[in-house]
Structure 1
Amino acid sequence: MSRAVVSPLLLVFAFVLSAFAAPADAQDAERVRIRGSNTLAHALVPEVAQSWLRDIGYTGIRVDRSKPALTEIHATRDGQPLIVEIGASDSARGFNDLIEGQTQIAMMTRRPNAAELDAGWQLGDLGTPEQEFVIALDGVAVVVNRNNPVVRLDFNQLRALLSGQSRDWRELGAAGQVHVHLDSSAGAVRDLINERVMRGAAFAEAQQHANARELIAAVAADPLAIGLIPLGEHYGAGTKPLAIADGGRAIAPTRTEVVSEDYPLSRRLYLYGGQMMGALSRSFALYAMTRPGQRAVARSGHVAVTLVPGRERRVTLGPGEYRQLVDNAVRLPLSLRFNFNGPSESGVAASVYDSRAVRDLDRLRAFMQLPPNRGRRLLVIGFADISAGSTMAAMMMSNDRADLIAQELVSRGLKVQQARGMGTALPVAGPRDAAARYRNERVEVWLL
């Protein structure tokens, strides 16, 4: 009789105990909440998060994608569970969640706009390197068949080809009807082209492909093709990327031009945090800036923001003085930019240096401390925007920018052979671009 009564009671007691003793994944685990752009949420941030967890001593790492638009990465350390929540939506939603305290980190493919900054005034100065983290770049390469004689396009020409306004290559020096090829899975590619190039125009009828590799193969087999692929994809032997101009010089998507952000169809991928970011969320954001974090960025298929120089190339553009200065030098893959004008120019109120420029200065110091680079000298060249008002004012401004960066480098123990301004030479953006001043006022650094 007593057994019949005790046994059910024991079962109930055991069930209650198990409920409390079960792994606290869903209830008691500490959580790092990251929300926003689907471009970052799809692969980039999960890859960086797993690398971060491993490097700070977490084990049992498990990725759960059982809920729509949500990736949960579970891990434990010293018996304590942690969940990294990565919610996919868009940049605006992610920033709004940051304002409302629903996330510790917002993922964005752009800087906050003026209205968002007003709404999130309590978050602090989002242009500082303590709250703005440029963790990667992405963008679009425009590819054509290797035998196509066209080598460059401006935005107007590209829009005309993609929209069907220009239907024949004859207008650009080739011959035959234009065939547009698109990757149906590349939403980020289409979004960037819509934003930067199409400006409300619709795409023409296009041949759709399941992925970038299929598109590249189709363009290689079609002499009249033009296609759009993510930066970082291999072009293959049968295709070539075009140089693209946005009101300035035509720029090819080489690694140096992309990482320096001079190539006009590239963009930054950001993380933003409030002033009161928790220790773990700040640890994650800072980790994304490190070499291991950037290796994870590269594994995810995006362009890492690392200081790896390209090979020496002969420069054929720009004033003779510029070409003479950089002869036998190697350009480093960065263009240091500024925030002198606050939110009216950059969209984010910030200090003198752009947040990426602050980190690039530190990366440059570490790079020059590597054994092969010790004792080598640097050449610093500044550029200004046409909005300076006159040739003389632009030259003075570009010299000031170059001198400012040179002083920063010297203060870090680096050797600067010369700092020189080039005025408005070699603009990367035309005056119609709202961010032209921000993009054109830049400083290049060359390794001698």
Structure 2
Amino acid sequence: MNHRQHKLTHTVFFLIALFTPLYSHALSTLSPENSGRLFAIKGSNTIGAELAPKWVVEFLEKKGAKSIQIRSLSKENEYRVTGKNGEKDIYVDIYAHGSSTGFSALNENEADIAMSSRPIRNNEVKLLQSYGDMTNVSAEHIVAIDGLAVIVNKHNPLIDLTLKQISDIFSGEVTNWSQIGGANQKISVYARDNNSGTWDTFNTLVLKNTKQLTSQATRFESNDHLADRVAQDTSGIGFVGLASTSRVKTLGISDQYTSPLQPQPLYVATEDYPLSRRLFMYTPEKIPLPIVEEFIHYVKSSEGQAIAQQIGFISLNPISQSAPEDMDGPDEYLSLVKNSERLSINFRFRENSAQLDNKAKQDILRLVSFIQLPQNKNKRIQLIGFGDLKQNNQRAIVLSKLRATTVKSALYDHGVITDAVVGFGPFMPVASHIGSGKSKNQRVEVWFYDETQRDINRFATR
């Protein structure tokens, strides 16, 4: 077997493991320590309030456990998922008090998995270095995508706001809705607490870690409790994860030089929406518990991702959407995507690097599996690169093509042939070209199409 055959064989088995549901089998791997606890999960309330308990329930069911229940513990946002392995009681504990608490719990050996709605910080990587490199793909697990929704009462007439307007409101520089085109009414500000990854994401993306949250803000540990307050307050504004938006109105958000986007599934999944974010689970890189590894595998499987979607988050399973008729962009871009469908995968890269980031490495495998589905056998893939502003547009275009070529090469290594890459440099930004927006604009879109339809389109445009 040559190197390429070996790599393809390894990929096939990996894809089977990644996308095949976890079937029930003997419960020897559910044998806990004397206490009956299989493992503990601590951290983000966004993940831990509903999603993590549901994942644990479904995982234990797949493993054959019986009499499974979710019980609330003595403190709010703490849960125990219980079940029976034969006659033996087993359980998994979930403590959802904010992302920072998950990393502290890992360090103190009080948890096996840290839930986080933000990437691990440099000081936390250093704190946990005895566990290995916590930024490695074997330790950092992207488990879903969430959109940080800016919410108002359903009676508020506003439709969208800019990131600057939101920043001005939450910092206290704007205190009345009339200052931004609304009613003459004092603004009530609601925010998550300091332990929350939701707060950390908002602080980074909106307040830019330079402005202070207004002292008039009311703080909440729970997304749902915050949303309930906004639903009752016609002057209220807050921010929550997508799963907590059913009772309120979400606002479209725009960044500098970009069009307003609502937190719709495709825009959140591609991370084009300005306040999209990744949800993480972190496990020790060095010798994690086998049952924990198996649970993480289930969470990232197509079945686990379907549960995330049911609850209100954005699944990592690829979805597609036809190009809207009113799309803006260069003529060549519009010609390429006409009669095509855009996939919910945007490939992004490590900061200041041409290397695919951890999500992109997994998305390569997801795309390979997706394109090999029977219904996609006659489809072709078009990769389109974008970038940030450089000294001149030509350099930006070249670099955007190189990023698309990186993705093309990774897919080729797994036996998937794509069309010639195209790059459009700094055109069609999804974020400001400064700060964190710079790396967000460095992306590769994935479009797929029926070859016959593309030929018809090219003939029609001659």
TM interval, short-chain normalised: 0.7 to 0.9
CA distance in 1, matches of 2:217, 2:78: 33
Q: Which of 421, 427, 431 is matched with 1:429 structurally?
A: 431
2:267 is aligned to: 257
2:80 is aligned to: 72
CA 1:83–1:389: 2 relative to 1, 3 Å: farther
SS in 1 for 2:421: strand
The answer as to whether partners of 1:180 and 1:204 remain within 8 angstroms in 2 is no
1:273 counterpart = 2:276: no
Cα distance, 1:213 vs structure 2: 7.1
1:156 is aligned to: 164
Cα distance, 1:254 vs structure 2: 1.9
Per-residue CA deviations over 1:8-31 (Å, capped at 9, x if unaligned) read xxxxxxxxxxxxxxxx99944252
CA 1:205–1:117: 2 relative to 1, 3 Å: closer
CA distance in 2, matches of 1:112, 1:228: 21
* Paired AA for residue 214 in structure 2: A
CA distance in 2, matches of 1:188, 1:112: 10
2:252 is aligned to: 242
* Paired AA for residue 131 in structure 1: A
TM-score (norm 2): 0.76
- Segment of structure 1 superposing worse, 149-158 or 53-62: 149-158
Residue segments in structure 1 that go unaligned for 5+ positions in a row = 1-23, 343-350
2:213 is aligned to: 201
CA 1:167–1:71: 2 relative to 1, 3 Å: closer
Cα distance, 1:285 vs structure 2: 1.0
* Paired AA for residue 441 in structure 1: Q
Larger radius of gyration: 1
Q: Which of 365, 374, 377 is matched with 1:371 structurally?
A: 374
CA 1:260–1:179: 2 relative to 1, 3 Å: farther
CA distance in 1, matches of 2:141, 2:39: 16
1:420 is aligned to: 422
Cα distance, 1:194 vs structure 2: 4.3
2:60 is aligned to: 53
1:98 counterpart = 2:120: no
1:36 is aligned to: 43
The answer as to whether partners of 2:99 and 2:197 remain within 8 angstroms in 1 is no
1:348 is aligned to: none
1:338 counterpart = 2:349: yes
TM-score (norm 1): 0.78
CA distance in 2, matches of 1:254, 1:315: 17
1:8 is aligned to: none
Cα distance, 1:202 vs structure 2: 1.2
SS in 2 for 1:418: coil
CA distance in 2, matches of 1:371, 1:111: 36
Q: Which of 59, 70, 81 is matched with 1:63 structurally?
A: 70
SS in 1 for 2:91: strand
Cα distance, 1:260 vs structure 2: 1.1
CA distance in 1, matches of 2:327, 2:70: 50
The answer as to whether partners of 1:247 and 1:431 remain within 8 angstroms in 2 is no
1:410 counterpart = 2:412: yes
SS in 1 for 2:404: helix
1:359 is aligned to: 362
* Paired AA for residue 416 in structure 1: T
CA distance in 1, matches of 2:153, 2:100: 38
Residue segments in structure 2 that go unaligned for 5+ positions in a row = 1-30, 450-462
CA distance in 1, matches of 2:326, 2:333: 9
Cα distance, 1:445 vs structure 2: 0.2
How high is the sequence identity, in percent, across the aligned residues?
Answer: 26
Q: Which of 366, 369, 382 is matched with 2:385 structurally?
A: 382
The answer as to whether partners of 1:139 and 1:189 remain within 8 angstroms in 2 is no
CA distance in 1, matches of 2:126, 2:429: 32
* Paired AA for residue 36 in structure 2: A
The answer as to whether partners of 2:258 and 2:430 remain within 8 angstroms in 1 is yes
What is the count of residue pairs matched by the alignment? 408
* Paired AA for residue 264 in structure 1: P
Per-residue CA deviations over 1:31-70 (Å, capped at 9, x if unaligned) read 2122222322221211111111111222121323233253
Per-residue CA deviations over 1:157-202 (Å, capped at 9, x if unaligned) read 2223455534566665x46425646678998766654443243131
1:446 counterpart = 2:455: no
The answer as to whether partners of 1:70 and 1:88 remain within 8 angstroms in 2 is yes
1:113 counterpart = 2:113: no
- Segment of structure 1 superposing worse, 163-172 or 358-367: 163-172
CA 1:288–1:318: 2 relative to 1, 3 Å: same
Q: Which of 281, 299, 321 is matched with 1:288 structurally?
A: 299
2:336 is aligned to: 325
- Segment of structure 1 superposing worse, 438-447 or 208-217: 208-217
1:134 counterpart = 2:137: no
Cα distance, 1:403 vs structure 2: 1.1
1:7 is aligned to: none
